[in-house]
Structure 1
Amino acid sequence: MSAVFDCSDQNEREAGIRAAEGAARAGRLVVMPTDTVYGIGCDAFDSEAVSALLAAKGRGRDMPVPVLVGSWHTVDGLVRSMSPQARELVQAFWPGGLSLVVEQAPSLAWDLGDTSGSVMIRMPLHPVAIELLREVGPMAVSSANISGQPPAASAQQARDQLGDQVAVYLDGGPSGEAVASTIVDMTGPTPKILREGAITAEDLAEVLDMDPAELRGTVS
């Protein structure tokens, strides 16, 4: 039976964070609000929990799970190296709607799916998510929906789709803008936008001193 906590009530929020932390440490799934849509998550270093997350979504290993972090500093332990351009983007847009695909540290003992040595990382701009991430550490988090169905913009929508496969639901009210994060691939010689979402190419280009068309890969 799932537990649902109303995070608009301070006492329930504190109890919910404790319950979600305990569930994640026990290898179970939790649903949390983020600044985009609701996410379903687990301890990123628990491969069985990541497999359960993919199964709950009806998703294969060919679509590896992104990782959310609760602070900038966490990233240094997860990646092979942070380029100056990646650090500029982190400083400009985190926490927020920017996901970075970077080469993961080779020593990491995790299994997020078929990643080919890379990992997608983001720091969400939501106080409940940040609080949970700082308690648990890096979490594998995907949109809280069954693959092919609309992403959940509320805890109830997530529960309607995922039911008791999730141990704890943290209800932070309706999600902000139901706009997916922008994904930038930092594994090549130059940054490349894989998906344009909450952060525009023009915003990114201003920080990186690049042509937006180059970021989009449309330069002729």
Structure 2
Amino acid sequence: MKTLLLNKNEIDIAADIIKKGGIVAMPTETVYGLAADALNGEAVAKIFKAKGRPMDNPLIVHISDIKQIDMLVAEFSDKAKKLAEKFWPGPLTIVLPKSDIIPDEVSAGLSTVAIRFPSHPIAHELIAKSSPIAAPSANLSGSPSPTTVRHVLADMDGRIDAIIDGGDCEVGVESTVITLTEDVPTLLRPGGVTLEQLRAEIGEVKVHPAVLKSLGKGMKASSPGMKYKHYSPKAEVILLRGSEQGFCEYIKENSDDKTAVLCYEEEKDSFKNYIVLGKRDDEVAHAHRLFTCLREADEDGYTRIYAHCPRAEGIGLAVYNRILRAAAFNVIEV
């Protein structure tokens, strides 16, 4: 398959591909998404094939108008409306009871569907000109999510119909996912909308155990990003928890030329091989840079990456969640 590289003025071409049952990688404010007509089960199945993604991993449906939600869900509750009014368009996904129009390929056979209204103008225009779109991240399953068109080409060139070049993604980690189908609203995946912001809007919000631990045996993923290992480069990722002194000492004693350190700007001079995540206290930059850093490590030929355990608060919780899964929960106390 020849993959077309389109620019922001060629969205009509991409929309036509979507309407004909094809797949297009589109930019969003979070990461690049792999888009297909959400109401066409055969088209959605092509996403799983292109990514090598297990069919039991549900997808997010993206909309361009709040009115579209009425045909997609069985109930749009008051709390859902409150979150939508505050955070849409933006990096928030809300899981709700699905309507009969949602194919099983999208919901992975669950009775729920995840809905998001992205803020990126290209994504918005593509959806408006085609249909509601099912779109997981535009990467090979399990690898770091793509935040640049170069990342998408590396994983998807020759596997999909087209890619729209929309520049670098702003947020850098996937959307926050909250389910409103349980007795208490529950955070399934942290992202650009923080747990603290959600609680400020609707009160109590639980955190699903799978945010910081592996999904229990036999449990089905009710949201993307809940599987055991995700976002992983080819290199082995190891998280180190402890003081900065302990972090530096452990690395000096356990490194070789094929080891890279994912570190902060202020400490880079302490290491021979390093990739800078951002300044120590700039968690927004950490989210923006994380997947690019993991891909850079592979491009530079490193086989092991050491990284700090991030602070699990604010957007730091999203960074922690992603890097914890990239490390397959391999954490060492130092």
Alignment partners' CA distance in 1, 2:149 and 2:193: 25
217 and 5 in structure 1: CA distance in 2 versus 1, 3 angstrom threshold: closer
On the 8 A contact 1:45/1:110 being kept in 2, the answer is no
Q: Is 1:215 the counterpart of 2:181 in the alignment?
A: no
Deviations, residues 49-82 of structure 1 (Å, cap 9, x unaligned): 1111001111111102211001111111110011
After the TM superposition, which residues 130-169 of structure 1 pair with which residues of structure 2 at under 5 Å, given as runs? Answer: 130-169=124-163
CA distance in 2, matches of 1:159, 1:115: 30
Post-superposition offset of 1:215: 2.9
Unaligned segments of structure 2, at least 5 residues:
210-334
Q: State how 1:93-172 maps to structure 2 within 5 Å.
A: 93-108=87-102, 111-172=105-166
* TM score, norm. by length of structure 2: 0.60
Considering only CA atoms, is the larger Rg found in Structure 1 or Structure 2? 2
Identity of aligned residues (%): 32
Question: What secondary structure, in the 3-state scheme, does the structure 2 residue paired with 1:80 have?
Answer: coil
Q: Deviations over 1:87-144 (max 9, x none)?
A: 0000000011100111101354563152311111101110000001111120110100
Q: Secondary structure in 1 aligned to 2:119?
A: coil
**Which residue number in structure 2 is paired with residue 183 of structure 1?**
177
Q: Any conservation in 1 of the 2:188–2:208 contact (CA below 8 Å)? A: no
* CA distance 1:109–1:180, change in 2 (3 Å): closer
Q: Which amino acid aligns with 1:82?
A: F
Find out whether 1:65 has 2:56 as its counterpart: no
Distance change (3 Å), C-alpha of 1:108 and 1:200: closer
Say whether 1:88 aligns with 2:115.
Answer: no
1:32 and 2:26 are equivalent in the alignment: yes
C-alpha separation between the residues in 1 aligned to 2:173 and 2:103?
A: 31
Is 1:49 paired with 2:49?
no
Distance of aligned partners of 1:110 and 1:116 in 2 relative to their CA distance in 1, 3 Å threshold: closer
Q: Is 1:199 matched up with 2:200?
A: no
RMSD: 1.5
Residues 35 and 107 from structure 1, CA distance in 2 versus in 1: closer, same or farther, beyond 3 angstroms? closer
User: Are the aligned partners of 1:180 and 1:197 in contact in 2 as well (CA < 8 Å)?
Assistant: yes
**AA partner of residue 207 (structure 2):** R
CA drift at 1:217: 6.0
Higher relative contact order (CA 8 A, sep 6+): 1
Q: Any conservation in 2 of the 1:65–1:112 contact (CA below 8 Å)?
A: yes
Q: TM-score w.r.t. structure 1 length?
A: 0.90
Q: Quick check: 2:39–2:101 contact (8 Å CA) kept in 1?
A: no
Provide runs of 4+ in structure 1 moved above 3 Å.
107-111
**In structure 2, what is the Cα distance between the partners aligned to 1:122 and 1:91?**
12
In structure 2, the residue corresponding to 1:150 is in which secondary structure?
A: coil
Give the aligned residue type for 1:37.
V
Amino acid at match of 1:215: K
Q: Which residue, 12, 19, 41 being the options, matches 1:18?
A: 12
Equivalences, count: 208
Cα gap change, 1:127 to 1:107, in 2 (>3 Å) = closer
Instruction: Tell me, yes or no, if the aligned pair for 2:92 and 2:177 is still in contact at 8 Å.
Output: yes
Check the 8 A contact 1:45/1:111 in 2, yes or no: no
